[in-house]
Amino acid sequence: MENKIIKKIEQANLLGRGGASFPTYKKWQAVKQISAKHKYIVCNCSEGEPGVFKDGFILKNYPDQVINGLKVALKTIDKSQAYLYLRKDYYRRFSAKLKKLSKNLPITVIRESGGYLAGEETSVCEEIEGRVGKPRQKPPFPSQEGIFGCPTLINNLETFYMISQISQNKYQDTRFYSLSGHVKKPGVYELPINWSIKRILKETSNWPEHDFFMQIGGGASGEILLDTEANKKVGGSGAIVVFDRKKTDPYVLMKKWAQFFLEQNCDKCVPCREGVYRIFEMLKQKQLDPKTLEDLFLVLDQSSYCALGRMVIVPFRSLIKKVL
């Protein structure tokens, strides 16, 4: 059973649903193969990216499937115990139900202490160990040295839901999409993973009649796409945020992103802290100097301590190029 499920995950081509889209079976294989006296499993439901709310939908409607996915992991990864790591409001809403479902299982339901960055996998390890949730240097990766130096498997909550489906032979190559913004029927939809953005919006009666552009993957770090690019597929965390082009001020939107990244970065590294601040200051004055921006983007990309700084670049660069 233990090795068969990893093979089934590989055959299903399941990618992590937390944003990085890393092959799930590789994480499971890495943790299982390491010899250790103790191992940890983490179901990560921090979900701090604006415009992403699919995990909350799953917790509300399918909590039993999430727990079943964790049970599969516990059977597969020997000498392990699990944590269900929940965003603050999700903990308030769903922890009682989850604790009841996981009774008599080595699963601990815990509340996130930090913000957006606390959902980064090494920050999760720091928080569970009782420290402030700030990122660690990688490598080593959590699969090698995670919680208390032990091999640690960390997957997004939707990933564990899909693991449950795979274990029951019910997986249908679907994923959950968060649809929001200037659409008629916002919400969460479970649809085929290979559908284009255009098909998703049309099948859910959300294709806009007005001139629009979109942010794909996440509502802060996601890439901006024009309506003419809607034949692409959705990556990242599965979010589609639609903007009415006539009603959206690009500077207000970019200022909102910059404010988010200012508030949510951990201040650990200078490139991210100072780079985002410089971008925010330019936006306040509505004076975006192309040369200065590209210099800042280069520094953020090449010198940031963790992925947050590198992610900052994507929305700004794509919106400036396509919409301004």
- Residue 233, phi then psi, degrees to nearest 5: -95, 165
The CATH code of the domain at 250-322 is 1.20.1440.230
Give the helix/strand (H/E) hosting 219. Answer: none
CA–CA dist 229, 198 (Å, integer): 9
Domain coordinates of the chain in residue numbers? 2-167, 174-244, 250-322
CATH architecture, domain defined by 174-244? Roll (3.10)
Task: Give the other-Cβ count within 10 Å of 24's Cβ.
Answer: 25
pLDDT of residue 235: 85
Distance between terminal CA atoms of the chain? 54
Of 227, 192, 225, the C-alpha closest to 208 is 227
pLDDT of residue 69: 98
pLDDT of residue 28: 96
Q: What is the DSSP string of 33-61?
A: HS--S-EEEEEEE---STT--HHHHHHHH
pLDDT per residue, tens digit, the chain (324 aa), is 557 999 999 999 999 888 778 899 999 999 999 999 999 999 999 999 999 999 999 999 999 999 999 999 999 999 999 999 999 999 999 999 999 999 999 999 999 988 888 889 999 999 999 998 889 988 999 999 999 999 999 999 999 999 999 999 999 999 999 999 999 999 999 999 999 999 999 999 999 999 999 999 999 999 999 999 999 999 888 999 999 999 999 999 999 999 999 988 887 888 888 989 999 999 988 888 889 999 999 999 998 888 888 889 999 999 999 998
Task: Give the other-Cβ count within 10 Å of 111's Cβ.
Answer: 14
pLDDT of residue 2: 58
Name the 3-class secondary structure at 242: strand
CATH architecture, domain defined by 2-167? 3-Layer(aba) Sandwich (3.40)
pLDDT of residue 224: 97
pLDDT of residue 216: 96
